[in-house]
Every structure is written in C-alpha cells, then in structure tokens.
Homo-oligomer: A and B are copies of this chain.
C-alpha cells in the first residue's frame, strides 16, 4: 500500500477537470500541467497546483514525457494520472514512471504495450479463445503489403492505427483504388495522434453494434466487470453517443461478454480500469475489437448505473488497495446515456474554433455535465474538439433519453458551432429511441426540419440585425433611448 496524496494529471480539458474533482473529494492534492496556450484553461484553474510544460503544440508539451516526469518529481507527486488521449496509451510513460519511482495510475508498461499493439493483442485473444475479427496479424509494412492483406480479408476493410484508439487513424476502404491514399492518411494521423505510424488491417464488418465491457482489475488478480456500454452511434469511428445498459443484451449475453472481458484482462496481465471492446453482428455473435488500456471518455455512463466512481477506484488500485467489491456487488440501476459535445459544425463535422461568448450548462434531476470550458474562453486550435459531455440518468432508458433531450435544449454554447443539434436529431430518431440501431445509424439519420419556429426566428433575426445596424425603430425615440450596445442598463433591452 502506497498512500497517494498528490497526483499529477498529465492531460487537459474535461478529463483533467474530472480527475481533479476526484482528487478534491478524496483530499488528494492535484497538480495540473499546461501548455502556453492553456494558461487560463479550466483544468489549470481547477487544480491545486499548475505548471507550464511547453509551447502550444502537444508534441512540445502534453506529449513530452520527460517534462511531465520532471514536473511530477519536482512538485512532490507520488503518482501520475494520464486521462485519455495524449500519453494515456503510450507504454513509455508507465515505464518512465517506474524508473523514477512514481506510480502510474493505469496498467504497467508491458501489458499496455501488449494490448496497445492491436496486432499483438489479437494474437493473445485468439489464443485465449476469444473470437477475433478476420484480418492481418501483423502491422502493414508497405502499401503493397496492405493490398495483399486487403485482398485476403476481402473488401471492405478497415485500416487502423496499431498504437491508438478513439477513432483516430482509422479509415474504411471499399476498394483497391482507395487503398493507397487511405494507407498514407491513416499512417500520418496515427503518427500525429500517437507518435507511431503503424497501421494494421482487418475485415470491415458491415454495420455491427459496438458494445464494450468496463473492467476493474487490482494487483492481486481480482477482476470484475461493471457491465456494458453500447457505443454504436459513431461517425468516422469516433463515438458520439454512449449508453448503458445496451438494449440488445439479455442477462445471458451480458454474462458471456463479461466473462470474455475478464478472460481478456487476465490473459494480458492487465490491471487498473480498462475497457474490452467488442463488435456484435446482427446475429448476436461478438468479436474482440481491442482493449482500451485507460479510462474511457464514456466512463460516466457506467458510473451512473453502478454508483461507482471509476477515477477513485483507479487511484485506489494504483495505490495497492484490493478491490473493495466483488462481481456480486455490481448491479444495474436505471439507465444512463452520454452525448459528446464537440466544437464542430453539426452538419459537416468540420472543426469550429473560436471564442465562447456565452455558456449555460444544463442542470436539474438526472443531469451530469463534465466540461473543460467556461464562458469567455478561446478554444485553442491545437487540441481535440471535445468541449464537454452531458450524461443523463433515468429510471429507464426512456427517461434517460427524455432528460437528455431536455438537457440539450438547456445547453447554450455560443460563439462556436457545436454538435448539440446533431445529438438532438439522433435522440428523436425512431431507430435510436426504439434501441434498434447499429454503427450505421449516423448515415441513416434524416433531419426533417420543422418550420414551426421559422416566423419567431425570423422576427428575432430581424430585431438583432436592426440592433446591429443601429436602425431607429421608431422616429420619435430619443437618441439615448436607443438600444444600448453594451453595459448592463436595466431599462431597455440589454446586450
């Protein structure tokens, strides 16, 4: 047992704030690190201590292991939490921690390296008797090798970063002539996101469901699963909406998948929190996809239905505690759903960077917000567009969805475009609300815009436009009665 009293959080944005909150609640001192672009970011303000670690580009700051280790040592931390993204799946970080006598809050370097290498992981799982998706067992060395492997598996195929996760460096390839360009792009994205250009290939399952199992494993061989998450609402292999429980799983299948996940974890010697991802085809067969060797973006949906704080559990496991619960203590209470709110155009999904002029977060019963932004915040162009997550809980799925629709209506992020209107469209989609969907759902969703609010919206636009152009509304209104463009004058419309 190594009591952890001070943690360096090697991340930024909502997840850094999330981890700092867990520290706050357990009387652990939190240490933030930040790039030059992030001095006024929320995670810097939230932590107890904060140190600058380099210029804005993440390769010069958040990805510099030496600087992070040095900051942890100098500030007297016993442990480092990597969050997700950045260095979270880079085995060099746990290795460097071990060398410096720091605790890495996550698995050890060996099991991370094993599982992080998607091709190695596939071999281990196949050996452990877990079904895997057909495809190459080794990273692709060249375009030529990719062409051969693709022909063997049969198009369509998927190119995936061997080192990464989270949808970065993933390309679907429908035919031979698309392959060369996709191979280059996937490799470049993989290098940019994970510092490793290796790409592998597997058969592309057509519109499967993406179901994953959250696990917790301590250092004494105890492994439990915390039920599943359904993450089939994806675009470009990026998850957008996640929920738990999954509508298509009955108790028997939940148990089978849970056992497979525990087997996968034990086979790889993995410890701490992790997620075993599966694809489920339309006949209900599931295939191992990968293990995410870290906290997931979507971990809150599991927290909402189990009541377990996964970050606190991670810290406890890392400090050498035994799991305080067994599989029999884990149950499902109600239903939870998460929407990822990104700074992207909700139609084109192009990044929308800018200055947040106004921020109102949803609240009330069953609503949880995890956010890395605040009002008057300039979103840096250097990092992931994920701004925040909304998670809702309901006694059943229907209530969780109704609350999410309410929460999205309450959420106001002004100054940039966000994916909020996209989420609304998914939630009111018949397939989604009936629970009958797969990873193809996003391409199938249609938005039939109602014109019910066209008139009121046109009126509002007119009045704001007149204000913007300083138009007199009526000729007999005195100059000083005109719309004020600034200040908080209580009489008259404030702007």
- Which residues of A are interface residues toward B (Cβ below 8 A)? 17-18, 21-22, 24-26, 300, 303, 307-309, 333-334, 355, 360-361, 363-371, 374, 376, 378, 395, 399, 402-403, 405-406, 409, 486, 488, 490, 494
Contact = CB atoms under 8 A, between A and B. Distances in A.
Most chain B CB within a 10 A radius of its CB, from A22, A363, A405: A363
Contact of A374 (B18, B303, B360): B360
B361 A334 contact: no
A309 B365 contact: yes
Contacts of A307: 333-334, 395
Nearest to A374: B360
B355 A363 contact: no
A399 B368 contact: no
Contacts of A26: 402
B395 A303 contact: no
Contacts of A365: 18, 21-22, 300, 303, 309, 368
A13 to B, nearest CB: 14
A382 to B, nearest CB: 16
Given A21-B406, A364-B369, A367-B368, 11 more contacts: A18-B364, A21-B365, A24-B405, A300-B365, A307-B334, A308-B395, A361-B363, A363-B363, A364-B368, A364-B370, A376-B494
Contact of A364 (B17, B366, B376, B403): B17
A364 B299 CA distance: 12
Contacts of A21: 364-365, 406
A378 B490 contact: yes
A194 B308 CA distance: 44
Given A25-B399, A333-B333, A369 B363 contact: yes
Contacts of A363: 361, 363, 368-371
A307 B303 CA distance: 15
